Structure formats: C-alpha cells, structure tokens
Structure 1
Amino acid sequence: MKVAVLDIKGKDTGRKADLSDAVYKIEPNNHAIYLDVKQYLAHQRQGTHKSKERAEIVGSTRKIKKQKGTGTARAGSIKSPVFRGGGRIFGPQPRDYGQKVNKNVKRLARKSALSIKQQEKAILVVEDFQFEQPKTKDFVDILKSLGIENKKSLFVLGDTNNNVYLSSRNLEGSEVVTNTELSTYKILNANNIVLLEGALEGIESNLNK
C-alpha cells in the first residue's frame, strides 16, 4: 500500500511510503484490542490503596461498657468496625492490578488498531525532521501545517529525539513516542497518527516478529 510522504509544511514531497498490508490492512480483531487496552489501563493503576483493619487501629483495649444490663448490644472494644473510628471490614489492601496478555495477541491488537486508523484515513506519513532546540511554537506550526492542531495526535519517531519530545510536552492534545513505545491504547486514543519515515521500518519489524 502506497502512501504519500508529506513534509513539515504539509506539502506532498512527491515520494511514496510503502505500508505493509500485513500491518495496516488486516481485518481488525476487536477482542485482541479489548484485551490489550484492558491490560494497559490496568497497569496505570498504582494499587496503593489501603484502609486499616481492626488489628491496626490504635486505641484503648478497655471494655467500653458492662456486658449485661445496658439494654444494648454487647461491645468489647472501641476498635470494633461497628463504631466510628474503628477498623474497616474487608477494606482495600495494596495489590498489583497487572494482567498478562500473550505477545502475539498484543501484536495483533496493535496491527488491528493501525488498520482501523488507516481505514479512517487518519494516518499521515511525514519525512523525518529535527529541531535545533526545544520550542513548542515550532511543533504547533507543524500541527497547523498538517491540519491537526485541534485534534488529538500521536507522533511516532524512529529514534528518541529529545528536542521534539520537549517541544510537544506542553501540548495536551499531542504526544510523541518512539516506534517501540507504540501501544494499542495510544493509537486508538488519538484522532490522527503521524508516522515519521524513520519509524516505518521499526514498526513493521516489531509487529511482524
């Protein structure tokens, strides 16, 4: 599948990029996408929630009232869960929410996500570019030239480029990743995917193992 390569001004360079049908033109597998996105979101949870149980409450151990004759229920400790300030029954405890997803399923999910974006005509291929220094204005100019300044965008680089990353960091709707950091969630969460030429080979290599 041939796709036009644009420059940072949004103009056609006259060159074509060859996108593999095995990555960008498959029948999307919705269940694989569901599993991969579910794992990604689960890994975002810190799992540090914690409430104190009865044994962890600091308080008096004195029996708070006599056993009989009060007309109310028996009560032996102020730390009981039935009293305000007492321990919590079956409260949340620290845990790992991580889930395991087979590597082949993850690759299938990412190829499915890319194929969906290609069907939506939401993938742009742009020639590699560099910034001499981090500058948000320069990155915004590229977004405007490509016509995606008011949309969520995901830029995929071939290699780490600190100046490009820092230039985009203050923009809420844009994210910059390398081809090895590409995830199903990030692909689907963006309105437009901007693939730099230098990332194409790495993406296809990672997803066709």
Structure 2
Amino acid sequence: MKADAIKLDGKAAGSVDLNDAIFGLEPRKDILHRMVRWQRANAQQGTHSTLGRSEVSYSTKKIYRQKGTGGARHGSRGAPIFRSGGIYKGPTPRSHGHELTKKFRKLGLKHALSAKKAAGELVVIDSIDVKDAKTSALAKMVGSLGWKRALIIDGADVNADFAQAARNIATLDVLPSQGANVYDILKSDTLVLTKAGVEALEARLS
C-alpha cells in the first residue's frame, strides 16, 4: 500500500510503499492484549517481600506454660495469629515474566503497526535530520504538526541531534527500529516512522 510522506516542517515528501503483510493486517485485540501483558509482566520488579514466622524478630521462648491458663496452647509470639507475627504464605521476591515465542512476538508487532495504520494514527516522515539541536525549535515543529503524544521510530541509529533536542519534550519519545515494541506503539497517540525506520522494520519483520 502507498502512504504519503512529509517533512518535519509539514511539507510533502513524496510517498512510500508499506508492506501489506506488516501494515495491512486486520488488528486482533487478543494478540495485542497478550503482548502487552507479556511486556508489563517482564517489567515488574517482583521485589515484594514479607517476613514469615521464622523471620520475625521475636524470642523463641515459649510465651506461657502449656497448661493451666485456660487459653490456647501457644508456643511463639511470632505465630501469624498474633499482632506483628509472621505473615502466612505472604509474597516473596519472584519473577512475574512468562515466555512468548519469537514468532508470536513478531506477529504482535505487526498487528500493532497495522492497528495504528487502520486508526489513521501512522505518519511517515522523510527523516528527522535537524540543523541544530534546539528543543524550543523542535517543540514548535511538533506543535504545528499536531502531535500530542508521539512515538518516533528511526532506523538502526537515531539521529543524535534530534534525540538531544527531543530529550526534554515530555510528549515525544524516540526509539531506534530495534527498540520498537507493542506497548509503546499502542500507548502513543501518533506513531511516526521515518523512511529509514520503515525499511528497518520491514527487514526485521519479514
């Protein structure tokens, strides 16, 4: 399929051919959902921890005699039944990540790109070369183009001057093609691909 390309100043920059097998799929919510869950699960630190009965700081001495008190036969103040006692089967540090095959992850990225194209939220630009790395100048360009929360994906390497200028713009994220992922693509309001980014993504996903 054909897609119009623009320059950073908004002027036309010809057109680019998009691979239908990558940008023309019917987006499937179940695949995108599984991909987002996989990414977010892998991002969890899993450092949650509680103290068990053997870890709380209490004496191991029997708290009162076995018989004659009229109460239950307790032996330790660190038991879960007592206030400040150990937690029974509480959370411990662990990994929340799970596996997804490379084939499925590649398919998920294709559906994410197709979802943006189908929603009219995909923009192709000629390049992100800027004359000077000025944040104020780039912010004006982005504002004039109407990009509210944009993700820009460049080729194998991101233009250094552009990355420096975009560093302090909160609504702009810049990634190389190898860093393209489903969660960031779906989270953005506008997905911006450079021509080099399109070529790199098609080479990666073909």
* TM-score calculated relative to the size of structure 1: 0.91
Q: Which of 158, 180, 183 is equivalent to 2:181?
A: 183
C-alpha separation in 2, matches of 1:112 and 1:49: 34
- Is the Cα contact below 8 Å between 2:48 and 2:93 reproduced in 1? yes
- Is the Cα contact below 8 Å between 1:23 and 1:207 reproduced in 2? yes
Tell me which amino acid in the other structure corresponds to 2:117: Q
Shift of 1:126: 0.9
Tell me which amino acid in the other structure corresponds to 1:155: I
Does 2:203 match 1:205? yes
* TM-score calculated relative to the size of structure 2: 0.92
Shift of 1:139: 2.7
- Is the Cα contact below 8 Å between 2:163 and 2:174 reproduced in 1? yes
Shift of 1:99: 1.2
Tell me which amino acid in the other structure corresponds to 2:6: L
- Determine the structure 1 residue equivalent to 2:3: 3
Tell me which amino acid in the other structure corresponds to 2:204: N
C-alpha separation in 1, matches of 2:100 and 2:150: 26
Shift of 1:204: 0.5
Q: Which of 150, 155, 158 is equivalent to 1:153?
A: 150
Tell me which amino acid in the other structure corresponds to 1:152: R
For residues 160-194 of structure 1, give each alpha carbon's deviation from its aligned partner in whole angstroms, at most 9, with x where no partner exists: 33432333333332211111111111111111101
C-alpha separation in 2, matches of 1:59 and 1:77: 8
Q: Aligned residues: percent identity?
A: 34
- Determine the structure 2 residue equivalent to 1:136: 135
- Is the Cα contact below 8 Å between 1:8 and 1:145 reproduced in 2? no
Bigger mean CA offset, 84-93 vs 122-131? 122-131
- Is the Cα contact below 8 Å between 2:128 and 2:159 reproduced in 1? no
Does 2:91 match 1:92? yes
Shift of 1:143: 1.1
Tell me which amino acid in the other structure corresponds to 1:37: V
Count of matched residue pairs: 205
Shift of 1:129: 2.5
> Which consecutive unaligned segments of at least 5 residues does structure 1 have?
none
